[in-house]
């Protein structure tokens, strides 16, 4: 049964995954917070940063808002990645500090991010086993965004690289980027799915580009990746699953 022959599944109606596998499909799978934990490490660094700032006027929530502004500005100028995040922390501290900022303070701020680069990859439950099944039945690509060196390094450390037919690390995941991928690789949009945890980067733009999508929510998705989920266009499907492992029941 082809995707066109099946009724679209909205997020609200997606509680029950299919029990019948689809024939050969192209599966584009996100990395951070879909395959492995990522944002929790940044949140820990942010929590340490806010405690260190200990601002006399701004609440912790307001300090976080200032940091969010700096993150958005830094990403626009320098892209995603740990280097940009560190730059945002320093710039936010320089803006909020009511005392001269010393080199020792800079080093302390940057130390909050040490664990992000040093920690071992923590795979999300069921990922390795499910990828093994999917790769045997379908064409599986890793499609992520960020700093290419960092993202490929994470993939290597995760020991998942052999499951993927190819890897695309994009500076941004928007509708234009997905359309460019489809054209570059000659993927059939009717049998291609984007799978991930981010409404903003994985689900909405891939649907806009004419792909199917599978939304797998994560409890700690980055706030800047949150968005109201769009409805799929006619003939396309949007499925919401509770876990990565359930992909094997559909594909």
- Find the helix or strand (DSSP H, E) in which 143 lies: strand 139-145
Question: Which of helix, strand or coil describes residue 238?
Answer: strand
**What span, in angstroms and rounded, lies between the C-alpha atoms of 144 and 98?**
39
DSSP type of residue 231: P
Rounded alpha-carbon distances, angstroms, from residue 196 to 30, 56, 109, 189 = 5, 40, 31, 17
H-helix segments, the chain: 39-53, 60-78, 82-96, 103-111, 114-118, 127-137, 148-158, 175-185, 204-208, 247-250
Enter the pTM of the model. 0.86
**What span, in angstroms and rounded, lies between the C-alpha atoms of 209 and 236?**
11
pLDDT tens-place values along the chain, 251 residues long: 333 333 344 443 444 444 456 789 999 999 999 999 999 999 999 999 999 988 888 999 999 999 999 999 999 999 898 999 999 999 999 999 877 888 998 899 989 988 787 667 899 999 999 999 999 999 999 999 999 999 999 999 999 999 999 999 999 999 999 999 999 999 999 999 999 999 999 999 999 999 999 999 999 999 889 999 999 988 899 999 999 999 999 99
Domains in the chain with CATH codes: 3-36+122-250 (3.40.50.1000), 39-118 (1.10.150)
Rounded alpha-carbon distances, angstroms, from residue 168 to 8, 31, 48, 85, 103 = 27, 11, 33, 22, 38
Q: Which pLDDT score is estimated for 100?
A: 80
Q: Which pLDDT score is estimated for 17?
A: 46
């Amino acid at each position: 049964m082809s995707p066109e022959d099946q009724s679209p599944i909205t997020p609200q109606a997606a509680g029950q995954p299919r029990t019948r596998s689809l024939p050969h499909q192209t599966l584009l799978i996100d990395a951070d917070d879909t395959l492995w934990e990522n944002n929790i490490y940044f949140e820990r660094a942010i929590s340490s940063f806010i405690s260190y700032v200990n601002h006399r006027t701004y609440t912790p929530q307001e300090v976080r808002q200032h940091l969010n502004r700096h993150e958005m500005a830094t990403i626009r100028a320098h892209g995603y990645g740990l280097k940009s995040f560190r730059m945002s922390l320093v710039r936010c501290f320089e803006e909020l500090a009511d005392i001269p900022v010393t080199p020792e303070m800079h080093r302390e701020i940057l130390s909050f991010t040490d664990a992000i680069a040093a920690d071992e990859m923590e795979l999300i439950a069921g990922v390795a086993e499910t990828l093994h099944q999917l790769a045997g039945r379908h064409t599986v690509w890793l499609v992520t965004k960020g700093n290419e060196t960092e993202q490929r390094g994470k993939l290597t450390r995760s020991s998942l690289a052999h499951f993927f037919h190819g890897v695309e690390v994009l500076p941004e995941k928007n509708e234009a980027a997905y359309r460019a991928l489809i054209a570059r690789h000659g993927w059939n949009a009717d049998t291609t799915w984007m799978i991930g945890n981010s409404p903003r980067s994985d689900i909405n733009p891939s649907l806009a580009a004419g792909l199917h999508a599978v939304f797998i929510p994560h409890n700690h998705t980055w706030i800047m990746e949150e968005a109201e989920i769009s409805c799929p266009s006619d003939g396309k499907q949007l499925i919401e699953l509770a876990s990565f492992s359930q992909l094997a029941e559909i594909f």
